[in-house]
Amino acid sequence: MTDLTSFTIAAARDRLAKNEFTALELTDAHLKAMEKAKGLNAFITTTAEVARTRAKASDARLQTGTAGALEGIPIGIKDLFCTEGVQTTAGSHILEGFKPPYESTVSQKLRDAGAVMLGKLNMDEFAMGSSNGTSYFGPVKNPWKARSRPPDSEAGDLVPGGSSGGSAAAVAAHLVLGATGTDTGGSIRQPASFCGIVGVKPTYGRCSRWGIVAFASSLDQAGPMTRTVRDAAIMLKAMCGHDPKDSTSAPLAVPDFEAALGKGVKGLRIGIPKEYRPDGLNADVALLWDAGVQWLKDAGATPVEISLPHTKSALPTYYIVAPAEASSNLARYDGLRFGQRDRTMGNSLDEMYAKTRAAGFGAEVKRRILIGTYVLSAGYYDAYYVKAQKVRALIAKDFTDAFSKVDAILTPTAPTAAFGLHGKQDDPIAMYLNDVFTVPASLAGIPGASVPAGLNNDGLPLGLQVLTKRWDEETMFRVCQVLEDAARFPTLKVAP
């Protein structure tokens, strides 16, 4: 019998409908793969019992013809989504043991569609990181290995990217068919690129943020991480839609993204931004980008050189806006209402807060809260925060101007392939540069996707990023499908 972890969501969906196997068999096969791949540390919490109960319920619905769009499909949920009665940590010590009494809108929608949750996926603490190295629950290993590194040694361990590193590793390693991620500055797209999978950040407002632990509310968006473009389209449709509980959630109809996939790119104009080719761009990344342009040209699209003049200001803008919002959002971790409390208590309420937060947050989170507090403090607010909001407006305008000339934009997803897990990672700015190509779209609120497009000369995955204007995920999916078809990317075949 075929290995049940080898299917895509689309293939599993069709075979479940034809009773070729049961949802419980599919779930059990993935639970077994998870057990074998424990060394990847992709999960913070596994929920085998919940999964088997839900898989049996899926089988009942499949038999009675009441199956949802993702009926019986095993998925993982990033540990940033609140899940009813299941520990939700955001990768932080301060939330260890927190069991939400409610379910986030996105994970509820996936449940309603019949998806089966296998567990909660590891991530950078509060989604702040690009290597999964800031997780309190330890780093995640990338299932890919470099040709030049000895595979079974510490030197062979590579990062999966971040912050949705557990999601990316679990999908790439066939532990789940798809996973939720969240993207604030690249946290879906960069790990998707590092792990050779598809990652989609929809338009800001497409997915409800209700029940997702907040990092930077004007940037945070949930999205799917899958092994194929089609699977991402199927999963995104189930995740998005208007939610009155999130005032920034868009009251717009959800398009049938899957229906857009076959439409091709003939006649589309594809923008190639010159600012994304700085001096010293990694040679493999540059070559692959050129190949991507050629594939789209071969499929009938017209490449157009464009300029996004404020690109270089995007990262510093992000590192004012995101920490400012984080310092405000993370004020709720006070040791009183949920999560961890420092038991020495101190002599006052303030001292209890300060000790709890010092013990509960990791170094990078503290750094960002302090920066955010500083840029919002009296005397500095205008010089830093308002200035950043103005530059953000210019960055958004760059894209608006570009989309008056082109239908989509093609760029590399990340400046490099996955790097070593045990190397030195203590320069914050060097780590921030991982998101140099993904942050601008986050600031502008436009949709972006990463498609695995090829391997570098060391055998590691590289992704290409497709950006479109707000609410035009359908064009984004059309371009992604053409890239996927042309790239013939060597996806890892089954669970390791």
Partner 1 sequence: MSLDEATIRRIATLARIEVPQAELEATAAKLSGILNWIEQLNEVNTDNVAPMSGGTVSGGTDLTLPWRTDVVTDGDQQEMVLANAPEAHAGFFAVPKVVE
Interface contacts to partner 1, rule CB under 8 A: 97-101, 204-205, 217-219, 244, 247-248, 250-251, 310, 312-313, 316-317, 319-320, 327, 331, 334-341, 345-355, 357-358, 361, 366-367, 369-371, 373-374, 377, 384, 386-394, 396, 400, 428-429, 445, 470
Minimum CB distance to partner 1, residue 439 (Å): 13
Q: Which is nearer to partner 1, 33 or 95 (CB)?
A: 95
DSSP string, 418-462: --BSSS----HHHHHGGGTTTHHHHHHT--EEEEEEEE-TTS-EE
**Among candidate residues 29, 28, 19, 105, the one with its CA nearest the CA of residue 67:** 19
Of the residues 78, 109, 141, 145, only one is catalytic, namely 78
CA-CA distance, 412 to 224, in Å (whole number)? 19
Burial of 67 (0-12, 13-18, 19+ CB in 10 A): buried
For the chain, helix, strand, coil in percent to 5 are 45, 15, 45
DSSP one-letter code for 8: -
Minimum CB distance to partner 1, residue 208 (Å): 13
Of the residues 92, 130, 163, 167, only one is catalytic, namely 163
**Among candidate residues 294, 276, 272, the one with its CA nearest the CA of residue 285:** 276
User: Quick count: other Cβ atoms within 10 Å of Cβ 489?
Assistant: 20
Q: Which is nearer to partner 1, 68 or 335 (CB)?
A: 335
- Catalytic annotation on 78? yes
Token pair for 280: 């010293």
- Catalytic annotation on 163? yes
Three-state DSSP class for 194? Answer: helix
CA-CA distance, 65 to 59, in Å (whole number)? 10
Q: Which is nearer to partner 1, 244 or 300 (CB)?
A: 244
Q: Which is nearer to partner 1, 162 or 205 (CB)?
A: 205
Minimum CB distance to partner 1, residue 179 (Å): 23
Minimum CB distance to partner 1, residue 338 (Å): 4
Q: Which is nearer to partner 1, 60 or 358 (CB)?
A: 358
Rg (CA), the chain: 21
- Catalytic annotation on 327? no
Please report which residue ranges of 44-138 form alpha helices under DSSP H: 48-63, 105-112
Minimum CB distance to partner 1, residue 312 (Å): 8
Minimum CB distance to partner 1, residue 12 (Å): 34
**Among candidate residues 83, 187, 97, 84, the one with its CA nearest the CA of residue 134:** 187
Of the residues 104, 131, 135, 187, only one is catalytic, namely 187
Residues annotated as part of the active site: 78, 163, 187
